[in-house]
Structure formats: structure tokens, C-alpha cells
Amino acid sequence: MALPETGATTVPAASSTKVPRRRGFSVFGIRVLIYQIVLLVGFLALWEYAIRAEWLPVYLYGQPSGIWRELVKGVESGALLRDTWITAQETVIGFIIGSVAGSIAGLALWLSPTTAAVLRPLMVALNGLPKIALAPLIVVWFGVGMESKVAIAAIITFIVAMLTSFAGSQEVDTDYIKMMKSLGASRLQTFRMVVVPATIPWIASAFRLNIGFAMIGAVVGEYISAEAGLGHHVYYSGTLYNLNAVWGGIFALMLLALFLDAIVGLVERRLKWQ
């Protein structure tokens, strides 16, 4: 049985003129990188000067040179690296569990429109509910260890992945579905051959969003109750009014977020239709 093409369900018809894809570092990319570095260095230099000139109180805003000393001290002692590794583990595990399970659940709803209609109010309610509000309950259920942070991250990413994959399955061109029916395909065959491939770009986009949501869940869990992790580091440093250490933890979180986002972005480009 010949299979219909599915790429057009998510990608508009392109003209005969193709835009060449850039590979490696282009001149534009290098120029943007230089601008970004200049902007960051300029901001830090202005911040440092404002503190030294006593335009801003150091006890309220911290100081870049002090932040650097805290980062170096944390790396040398191994404490910052340990906290970063713990938060990265919680984020990645929660991200994988929530994103994969949510995507499967959202796609499965396409197979049963009745079930989707029954669960729709619940899906809307869960989407509108601030998932962070569930964090105290999850900590009580799973304890103060890594399990509770993974659970929070998984719940947040599960909702996003489920709603996104379900929405993507509803956008599949009905002409392809009708064609599959006319060829005698069962609903399960249509699901496997048309719906799933056509929804992959939606799932990939949800994964890109979910890496940030997973980190939010892990850090919030560490804020509430934890013995290690970057969230715990930031919270504990704040209770001691050590603003430089707080900023050090925040910068470590930003670097971790950039690293994980780059990995997910690479996977996203692999998954999306070319």
C-alpha cells in the first residue's frame, strides 16, 4: 500500500527557490558572537565600576570581582561542581520522564476522541494550574532527596508535552487521513504512518521548551527542601546575605541552561523534517 507524504502537514509548500542552509560558523554568526561578548563584558565592567564608585551599595547588588572569587572558590572546593551536577541530573531525568510520557499520552489521545473529550476539562485545568503549587505536596510524598525534584520537573514537563503533542495530532491534514481510510488502513495504521510522523516537529518544539521548565521544577524543589543543588546553594547563600555567592549560583544556572538548551536544540534539528 502506497503511503502518503506527511511533511506537508507541518511544513508549508515551498517555492522552487531554496534558501541555502548555513553550515559551521558564518561571518554573521561570528559578528553576533562578538557583539554578545562585548555586551556581556561591558555590562560587567559598568557594574564593577558602579560598585567601586559607590553608585550602588555592594551589600545589595554584589560585585563582579567578588562573584568571580566565589565561583573560583566553589570550583576549587568542588562544591559548585557538585551542586551543578546534582541540579543537572534532576533536570535531565525529570525532563526525559515528563517529556517522553507526556508526548506518548498526547498522541494516544488521538486514538480515542471520546477519551480526549472527557479529559479535556482536566487538561485545561492542569494547564492553568501553577504546577509549582504542587511542590510542597510532592516533597511530602517523595521526601527531600532527588526523587522529589525529579517528580516536580517531570510533572511540569509532562503537561506541556501532552498538550503540545495532542494539539499537533489535531493539526494533521484531514486529506491524508481520508486517503488512508480509502486505502483500507486501520486507525492504528493511520496513527503510526501519518499522525506520529506529522507530529514530530511539535514534539521537538515541546522538548525545547521543556528543558527550561524542567530546570524550574528542579530548582523550585531545591528551594523548598534540599541538601544540595544550585537552588539550595542560591537559597542558602541568600539567607547568609552573601550576594556574591547568590549571583555565582545564578550564573552557574544560566550556564547549565545554555548547555542543556544547546543539546536539546541539536536533538530538535535531528528530529525535525528537513
| pLDDT tens over the chain, length 274 residues | 444 443 443 333 444 444 444 445 578 888 888 998 999 999 999 999 999 988 988 888 989 999 999 999 989 998 999 999 999 999 999 999 999 999 999 999 988 888 888 888 888 888 788 877 887 888 888 887 888 899 999 999 999 999 999 988 888 888 888 888 888 778 788 888 888 888 888 888 888 889 989 999 999 888 888 788 899 999 998 888 899 999 999 999 999 999 998 888 887 777 654 4
Cell 532527588 belongs to: 146
Write out the three cell numbers for 273. Answer: 523534517
Among 3.50.50.60, 1.10.3720.10, 3.40.50.150, 3.10.105.10, name the CATH number for the domain at 65-271.
Answer: 1.10.3720.10
Cell 554578545 belongs to: 36
Domain range summary for the chain, segments of one domain joined by +: 27-56, 65-271
pTM here?
0.80
